[in-house]
Structure formats: C-alpha cells, structure tokens
Amino acid sequence: MPDIPRDKSPDSTLSLLKEGYLFIPNRCRRLGSDIFRTRLMLRPAVCMSGPEAAREFYSPGRFTRKQAVPKPTLMLLQDKGSVQTLDGEAHQDRKRMFMSLMTPDAVVRMGDALERAWRARLPAWEGMDRVVLHDEVQGVLCRAACDWAGVPLDDAELPERTREFGAMVDGAGAVGPRNWRGLMLRRRTEKWARDLVERVRSGDLPAPPGTALDVIARFRGKDGGQLPPDAAAVELLNILRPTVAVHRFVTFAALALHQHPGTRGQAAEDDRYLEMFVQEVRRFYPFFPLVGGRVMEPFEWRGHRFGRNDWVLLDLYGTNHDPRTWKDPGRFDPERFVGWDGSPFNFIPQGGGDFGRDHRCAGEWITIELIKRAVRMLTTAMRYDVPRQDLDVPMSRLPTMPNSGFAIAEVKAA
C-alpha cells in the first residue's frame, strides 16, 4: 500500500508561521489527503485533519502529550506535572479532580461571577472614549475566575494578574519577545499561586469549601499524597489562565454580533439560539490551531504505520471547517447547529473525545457559559457604537484576534 503524501519542503516551520491556522488545511487540500508527513523545527511530523483523524487521535491510550508541543508553548500553557502531561490512570485520577469542579451548579456560578464583574466595570466603560473589548474583558474574566475559584484578589492586584494570564496565552504560539514576556510573567504568577496553596494548607487562608483553590490544595491522588506545591500551583493556573483566555471568544462573539447584525435580536431573546450562536463562534473563529501528541502504542491508519514516539499534529481549526461535516464552512451560521449530531470528533475547538478519559478540555462547559453570559451582557445590559477600525483577523498570528482588539464607543448601561 502506498504511504501517505509528503509535504515537499525540507522543513516547513516558516510556512507554519506564515500560514498559521491554514497550514494543515491548505496541505490536506493540495495533497488530496487527510494525512501527510512534514518536517517542523527539523523534526519529522505527521499532520492529520477531519473527524476520522480526530477519532484515531483520541483512541484511548494512543497518544501522550509529553514532548508533543514545542518547549516554549509547553512552559506557557501546561508545564511539568500538570494534568496535560500525565497518562493513563494517573491522568484519569487528576482529571477527576478537574471534572469535579465542573458541576452544572458550578458552571452557573461562574456565569454569575462574570455578570457581576461585567456590571461592576460598566460604569468605567461609560466614561471611556473607546473600550477595547479584547483588553477589557480580560480584566472582567480575571475578576470572575478568581472570585469563582475562591482566590482572594484585591482591586489593586487585578491589572497585574490580568496582564500575566493574558501574556501567557498570547505568547504561547509566538517565537521571540512575545513568548519570553509570557515566560517571565509566568514565573511570578507561579510563585503567587504556590503561596496561595501553601497558605490554604497551613490554615492561614480559609478557602471556601468546594472552590477550585480548596479542592486543588487538598486533593489527594490515588497514592494518598497531596500534590507537591509546585504541581498544585500549576493546576490552579490551569483553571485561572484559560478562563481569562475566554476573552478571545468573547471578542469574536462581539465581532460576530457586529458583522451579522441579524443574529443580535435572537441571541438576546432566545436561549436555544444563543446556545447555537456560541457554538458557531467556537467553530468559526480561530483559537488553538492544533494539538500535538506522541505515539505510545503503534497503530496503522490510512495505510500509514505510526511508530512509537512519532510526533503527530491534529488539526483543530481545519476539522471545525471540514466541508464534509460543515456545509459552506466559511459562512457564519448559528442555525447549522440545529442538525448537528453532537459527535465528539467533528467539532473540536477545545479538543475531542471523552472528558474523563481523554485530554479533552476540562473547561468546555464553563467556556460556553461564559460566552453566553457575555453575549447577554452585550445584547441586553448595554448599548454601544462600533467605530471604524481594522477588524481583520490575521490567520498567521497564533493565537489570533481582530487587529483592533474590537473597540466600542459611546457605551451606556441599558
């Protein structure tokens, strides 16, 4: 059987930086294949795209996330000892801790925390000439995330923490200064999180029972031991940092409301439509382009033999735009979710497979709730104008956003 096609270039790192989210989809289309070989950062890699590829990628026990992303990205988004770097039983044990924080009640509480923080910030926005949502919503989410997680944070500390979390996500796909800034700020944030864990454990800081800070500080794994303070700090950041990162989806949701004004009324009034609108925001707009894995158990797919330790990249963005699942994928259309089959492999903005068993994002329900609440705030709690600005979303920037950050003006509470 012929092996899979190969990307012509001896090393495609520069093309990845240039084409960004479109790197894998462009090649899949050109090569007429869901799978191809390439070289990135001088290492051989196999890229795959589409729902069938996702099903293979999320087959239990096949891939580890260890050494599966470039080191600078790892340092910003996962770090040593985090749930992402665990496999098998150890992973499931730690993942249970995360999923125990995601009960329906807890998800609603996170939404409530966002609304409180949003309303508290609204008077300041009324006094500003321009409110850049990409920047401002980070602060709102940082306040909401800390309140929800039982993390004390006074107002004076808020801008600094917000900047740190934002820089970690912003620098993750970057090479050079954007990445170094994230790394530098990360060290400070880790120390802060470690102190919180140690203070809870010593009884110096009473964390409200059942909050993320309380659960993580007191979690005992199967071996009966508590997490080392560094690992507990990393897991606390694994909740706070990505919650703040939801500001990117919120910014895109605001962009969608602006560019598709017909959606606004329904999103404000109809809960079922709002849910579909939010799903379409997560499908349509680019966030994480791909996830990486290394093969643990050799297997074969599409005539290609995956050997132990092979490096494989699954295309998240391209799978969410795969025309075999999504008719006219470049059109923003919330109604397309009316007939969606709910597959965990064809709509994977936050990874796929099973929440408990696989590495699928632990925060997906929270993400959906937060975007919903933000859309409700934008459509019912305030009025605003959208001044002329550069709303292009460059596909080469990882992660990307509208160039202007989406500015609004003349904000008035409704």
| Contacting positions for ligand HEM (CB under 6 A) | 65, 83-84, 95, 98, 238-239, 242-243, 245-246, 249, 287-288, 291, 349-351, 359-363, 366-367
First-to-last alpha carbon distance for the chain, in angstroms, is 65
Dihedral in degrees, nearest 10, Cα atoms 265, 267, 269, 274: 160
Q: In this structure, are residues 167 and 185 in contact, taking their beta carbons and an 8 Å threshold?
A: yes
CB of 248 to ligand HEM, least distance (A): 6
Residue (48 or 291) nearer to ligand HEM, CB: 291
Give the residue among 283, 306, 288 at the shortest CA–CA distance from 56: 306
The size of the chain, in residues, is 414
CB of 171 to ligand HEM, least distance (A): 15
H/E element holding 64? Answer: strand 63-64
Residue with tokens 């007939």: 339
Residue (172 or 411) nearer to ligand HEM, CB: 172
CB of 297 to ligand HEM, least distance (A): 16
CB of 235 to ligand HEM, least distance (A): 7
CB of 82 to ligand HEM, least distance (A): 7
Q: Which residues contact 383 (CB under 8 A, 6 or more apart)?
A: 410, 411, 412, 414
Q: For residue 372, which amino acid is it?
A: K
Could you give phi then psi for residue 19, rounded to 5 degrees?
-95, -20
Q: In this structure, are residues 393 and 383 in contact, taking their beta carbons and an 8 Å threshold?
A: no
Cis peptide before 344 (omega within 30 of 0): no
Residue (185 or 362) nearer to ligand HEM, CB: 362
Residue (122 or 371) nearer to ligand HEM, CB: 371
CA 138 to chain centre: 14
CB of 285 to ligand HEM, least distance (A): 10
CB of 391 to ligand HEM, least distance (A): 20
Residue (12 or 350) nearer to ligand HEM, CB: 350
CB of 86 to ligand HEM, least distance (A): 7
Number of helices followed by number of strands (H, E) in the chain: 15, 10
CB of 169 to ligand HEM, least distance (A): 8
Residue (192 or 249) nearer to ligand HEM, CB: 249
Residue (374 or 411) nearer to ligand HEM, CB: 374
Q: Which residues contact 184 (CB under 8 A, 6 or more apart)?
A: none
Q: Which residues contact 306 (CB under 8 A, 6 or more apart)?
A: 46, 295, 298, 299, 300, 312
* Secondary structure class of 388 (helix, strand, coil): coil
Residue (350 or 404) nearer to ligand HEM, CB: 350
Q: In this structure, are residues 160 and 166 in contact, taking their beta carbons and an 8 Å threshold?
A: no
H/E element holding 315? Answer: strand 311-315
H/E element holding 311? Answer: strand 311-315
CB of 190 to ligand HEM, least distance (A): 16
CB of 83 to ligand HEM, least distance (A): 4
Residue (83 or 174) nearer to ligand HEM, CB: 83
Bridge-based pairing state of the strands 407-413 and 131-132 = antiparallel
- Cβ-proximal residue to ligand HEM, closest one: 363
Residue (116 or 130) nearer to ligand HEM, CB: 116
Strand partners, 43: 40
Residue (28 or 244) nearer to ligand HEM, CB: 244
Q: For residue 143, which amino acid is it?
A: R
CA atoms of 282 and 242, how far apart (whole Å): 14
Q: In this structure, are residues 160 and 143 in contact, taking their beta carbons and an 8 Å threshold?
A: no
